[in-house]
Structure 1
Amino acid sequence: MSDAAPSRRGATRRGTPPGPLLSSVRAGSATAVPRPEADGSGLLGSLVPLLSEWLPGQRWFAGKGRPITGFTLVAATELLPHTTGGSAPGLLHLLVRAQQPGSPTGHPGAPGPSGAAGPAVHAGTDDCYQLLLGVHDVLPPHLAPALIGRPAGGPLHGRAVYEGLADPRLAALLLERLRVPGRLGPLRFTREEGAVIAAGLAPKMLGAEQSNSSVVYGETYILKLFRRVCPGTNPDLELPRALAGTPCDRVPPPAAWFEAELPGADADPMTLGVLQPYLPGSADGWQLALSALAVRADFTASARALGHATAEVHGALAEALPTVVLRRPQLEHLAASMTRRLDAAADAVPALRPYRAALGAAYDELAALGRAGRTWRAQRIHGDLHLGQALRTAQDGRWALIDFEGEPARPLAERCRPQPAARDVAGMLRSFDYAAAVGRATATTWSARARAAFCEGYATVREDPREDPRLLRAHETDKAVYEVLYEARHRPDWLPVPMSAIRRLADPRAGAAADAAVDVPADAAAYRQAPATAAERPGGATGPPGRPDHEEPE
């Protein structure tokens, strides 16, 4: 059905004169709108009712479960002007802050009637989101699912406003901007020296969103657009660029990117999007593992090769970027941070409380080693490594690693901080446990053999992570504790999966028996039926590939 009729989300008024639609919008303008009615005639004021309804339904919106109390327009840029009465669409780029209150005061994460954790406690936020809004007088039928609404006033009055990435004409415009570097208002488009980007590549927006949005161009390039943005270079641009200058070819190098440079002496550019080579036909490690489990095939060779590839990337990052030595103060701080997360999780999840002391001992031991003079090297790492972040390419069957953004909900400064490589290793080891649960193999040795093979492959390039069992145990415990908190809040049926790891980490003898007793979640079959190629799922598995499929702040 065409969008010729007015949307229920905004009334259409006749008599708006033709002409440039956004002539009143200047790039880089900022308007504070604490209430929808505060600026009803302006651009943002007219969009507030639509965005208040649309944003919370987006997969990448981080503030679910809390009301939006206001918006601030950080910048508005016309990438493609739209003239009223014309047949061509317009494209408007917005950076908008969404204000949300903190949770009510009370006991953090208090358990509900079922014993699961209560709502997360958040401080108030004003996250900045990147929006690409298409503008059309009459929305073509094939774009009807992308409709956001029709503003009842302001410069977009009565026009159809929709998700611009869903329109191939507008998605193609983004590629053209990246092909021809330059500036437009606060936006700066940059192409890597020597990169050749062909014109006319057909765009396709990928439907399986996670914390970002992606568009594939002609099975040649993939553009990742970061939805929640902040000042500073995103690690998903910084780290692949650094690796591009090394012999390591395990990470697709950026071909182009774009940023926002906003007024203010202390404002660093915001990374908005990165264009990288696309790996057609590749499959991610999560689906490969599940496919092997479905037919009870051995996965150790693949896990060993993945460990080798991970160590190559870690080694190249250590060569390309500065490293630091973690001494007593840093190790005590690391252990204290882990202990705080454990205490918060145990307060929220009753099932975790019997294991608090045994799990905390792993962190205490780490701090004690620092006091005894033990040191560890820290470096830049992936930061969110799991099976869904590894692709086995169709061309040569080699592993590649993707999505170096880290955990998007964590502050950028934290994601850019050097950390022990053991954190990445621990994330992958947890991913094998989740795959075994989904593949109904928790009572077998599948996970243990895959974990061992991964470490063996890693040891062919760098030090075997098992040679530092206390550092590895601390990081794996920290990851499992986070998983327990997440599953208790969002998917109680999945809680037995990380709790099995908790029992093993607290007492290795009990852990082996606990693995045999794990109740596989009722919806595990749905994850086995998820799309099998990375083309359909650019950021990882639809389900939990060793981490919750949506990160949230602590």
Structure 2
Amino acid sequence: MAETVTPLGTTGPTSHLLTSLDPLLRAWLPRQRWFAGKGRPITGLTPVAATELLPPDGRLGLYHLLVRVDQPPAPGAAPHPGDCYQLLIGVREALPPRLAPALIGHVTDGPFAGRTVYDALYDPRPAEVLLEALRNGACIGDLRFGRDPRQEIRDGLVARLMTAEQSNSSVVYGDTFILKLLRRVVPGVNPDLELPLALAGEGCPRVPPPTAWLHAGPQDEPDGSYVLAVLQPFVSGASDGWELALRELAKGEDFVAEARALGRATAEVHTALARALPTVTLGRAQLEQLVDGMTERLEAAVRAVPALLPYAPGLRSAYEALAALAAEGRTWTAQRVHGDLHLGQCLRSPSGRWSLIDFEGEPARPLAERRMPQPPVRDIAGMLRSFDYAAHSATSAAPDWAHSCRAAYCSGYAEVSGRDPRTDPVLLRAYETDKAVYEVVYEARHRPDWLPVPLSAIRRLAASEPI
């Protein structure tokens, strides 16, 4: 089910801004890494909220927009009200050369005719305006800047935009904080703020605690407000888990010790989440619903990627085996989990300590689904798939490297949780199969050259081989 996009309001001379920007945004939005509707025409842009942050003073104006983007549904998908995107728009007479990559276009009519508009996150001054509002706990129009008063936010921190490809945008302030600005937003409680706050309450050191956050909408109606951004401590000098794994592979080094440490870190986070938030028992009815969802995704994937067809019976058997255990009365405990765990969601500090980040879950899934309790093995399956991806990204595929990492990760997890994921092979196989099927569809649509990576896992999982 698609979330309803609720209109909020406008402040300042913003009512004409979107009209002026409409033709420029139609061309600019599909080129952005975080835009989810690639390949489908934009049929309309509707303002959800528009807020003036800096009035144009002849040099710089700054506007915060939430814009609903209407597009025809993807083939086979149900119609929905359109995705809502968060934009920070700068307005200048002309862009200096350093801001050339941020260009949206030149306005030809309306109150900003003759001026240049751009993605203001590239510009340190607008980014510093956001930090100042967070530091002061400001309220500007529909925007509410909240913070943890126990954490200090110093002024004078220089902002820089992180340029790595991602589904959101991040700004680092003086190697002290990192602000994650969510691009595609929906109303409701966002796990990217909810779960780190819960973990901070448990004293879990594996996740940087939220320092401040940005909402839009009514404060007393969480389901109708939008979480727009989260500020957290920046782990200076940290190595991204994906990049670190690829470097070790390139040097011919194993990753066993790091994989085991990652398993322990994952288990610590799962244990803290189980303490902080309710857990549930999945009985036969819930498991049958889970299996039905996995089966439906497989059938849709086979239609989209014919290369899956020869493996479909073997893959379906992974789900049937889980359904059979449920029919025998087997149950599992479900809890809140990360939801999209892989090497790229992990950071290793210079001291060697691992942290988990980005608790948003898979952005393409409905928010209610991302907030549902899940068996912890869902996160584990995601990490196991990530080791496979790293191994196949090397100059020469390294399946033994991946196998060693997967085993070490499970062993590390067991050291903390007391339960080795490999002792639950049916559930683990079902979740890893579901993840690999998703990967096949994604790669076929976006990166066809990568399709052999998940297909190699598909062959293994269809044959019911152990990890």
Pairwise same-fold verdict (TM > 0.5)? yes
Paired with 2:123 and 2:96, the residues of 1 have a C-alpha distance of 10
Alignment match, 1:477: 433
Contact kept in structure 2, 1:92 and 1:133, CA below 8 Å: yes
Is 1:248 the counterpart of 2:204? The answer is yes
2:55 alignment partner, one of 77, 81, 93: 81
Q: Report the alpha carbon displacement of residue 362 of structure 1 after superposing the two structures with TM.
A: 1.2
The within-5 A match list for 1:222-301 is 222-261=178-217, 268-301=224-257
CA distance 1:444–1:128, shift in 2 (3 Å): closer
- One-letter amino acid of the structure 2 residue matched with residue 362 of structure 1: A
- Say if 2:48 and 2:67, in contact at 8 Å, map to a contact too: yes
CA distance in 1, matches of 2:222, 2:448: 44
What amino acid is aligned across from residue 286 of structure 1 in structure 2? W
Give the structure 2 partner of residue 48 of structure 1. Answer: 22
Deviations 1:484-514 (CA, angstroms, capped at 9, x unpaired): 12222232222221111111112156x99xx
2:66 to 84, 88, 95: 95
Query: CA separation of 1:47/1:66 partners in 2, compared to 1, >3 Å: closer, same or farther?
Result: same
- Between 463-472 and 140-149, the greater mean CA deviation after superposition: 140-149
- Aligned to 1:460, the other structure's residue is in SS state helix
Q: Is the 8 A contact 2:44 2:71 kept in 1?
A: yes
Question: SS at the partner of 1:420?
Answer: coil
1:25-74 deviation digits (Å, cap 9, x = unpaired): x98149xxxxxxxxxx9322111111111111111111110110111111
Shift of 1:125: 4.9
Mapped partners of 1:321, 1:263: distance in 2: 22
Partners of 2:244 and 2:78 in 1: how far apart? 37
With over 3 angstroms needed to count, the CA separation of the structure-2 counterparts of 1:320 and 1:263, relative to structure 1, is closer
Match of 2:458 in 1: 502
Q: Which has the greater radius of gyration?
A: 1
The CA RMSD measured in Å over matched residues stands at 2.1
For residues 115 and 39 of structure 2, the distance between their equivalents in structure 1, rounded to whole angstroms, comes to 30
Match of 2:373 among 418, 426, 429: 418
Q: Which moved more, 1:70-79 or 1:144-153?
A: 144-153
Partner-residue secondary structure (3-state), 2:436: helix
Partner residue, 1:36: none
Partners of 2:90 and 2:413 in 1: CA distance? 47
The normalised TM-score by structure 1 is 0.79
- Aligned residue runs from structure 1 range 518-529, under 5 A: none
Contact 1:261 1:267 in 2 (8 A): no
- How many aligned residue pairs are there? 458
Question: Of 26, 36, 39, which residue of structure 2 is paired with 1:62?
Answer: 36
| Runs of 5+ consecutive residues of structure 1 not aligned to the other structure | 1-25, 31-40, 109-120, 513-554
Shift of 1:178: 0.4
Q: Indicate the SS of the match to 1:161.
A: strand
How many angstroms apart in 1 are the aligned matches of 2:274 and 2:176? 29
Instruction: Give 2:3's aligned residue.
Output: none
Partner-residue secondary structure (3-state), 1:405? coil
2:122 and 2:161 in contact (8 A); partners too: yes
Query: What letter matches 1:336 in structure 2?
Result: D
Amino acid of the residue matched to residue 429 of structure 1?
A: L
In structure 2, the residue matched to 1:403 is 358
Which of 260, 281, 305 is the aligned partner of 1:304?
260
Aligned CA distance change for structure 1 residues 479 and 103 (closer, same or farther; 3 Å): closer
Q: Distance in 2 between matches of 1:223 and 1:170?
A: 13
Deviation per CA, 1:528-549, whole angstroms, max 9, x where unpaired? xxxxxxxxxxxxxxxxxxxxxx
| Residue of 381, 388, 391 corresponding to 1:433 | 388
User: 1:451 aligns to what?
Assistant: 406
Residues 276-317 of structure 1: CA distance to partner in whole angstroms, max 9, x if unpaired?
Answer: 000111101111111111121121111001000000000000
> Does 2:317 correspond to 1:361?
yes
Q: Residues 180-230 of structure 1, C-alpha deviation per residue, up to 9 Å, x if partnerless?
A: 002111000001130100001000011123110010000000000001111
Post-superposition shift, 1:137? 2.1
Aligned residues: percent identity? 63
* Structure 2 portions without partners, runs of 5+: 1-6
Deviation, 1:263, is 10
In 1: Cα distance, 2:246 partner to 2:215 partner: 38
The Cα shift of 1:159 comes to 1.6
With normalisation by structure 2, the TM-score equals: 0.94
444 and 92 in structure 1: CA distance in 2 versus 1, 3 angstrom threshold: closer
Contact 1:308–1:459 (CA under 8 A) maintained in structure 2: yes
Select the structure that is richer in helix. Answer: 2
1:217 equivalent among 173, 178, 199: 173
Aligned residue in 2 for 1:141: 97
User: 1:130, CA displacement in angstroms?
Assistant: 0.6
Distance 1:208 1:174 in 2: 21
Q: Deviation digits for residues 263-282 of structure 1, max 9, x if unmatched?
A: 99795210010000001111
CA contact (8 A) 1:28 1:262 kept: no
- Counterpart CA distance in 2 for 1:139 and 1:407 is 35
Return closer, same or farther for 1:502/1:138 CA change in 2, 3 Å cut-off: closer
Q: 1-side partners of 2:305 and 2:163: how far apart?
A: 34
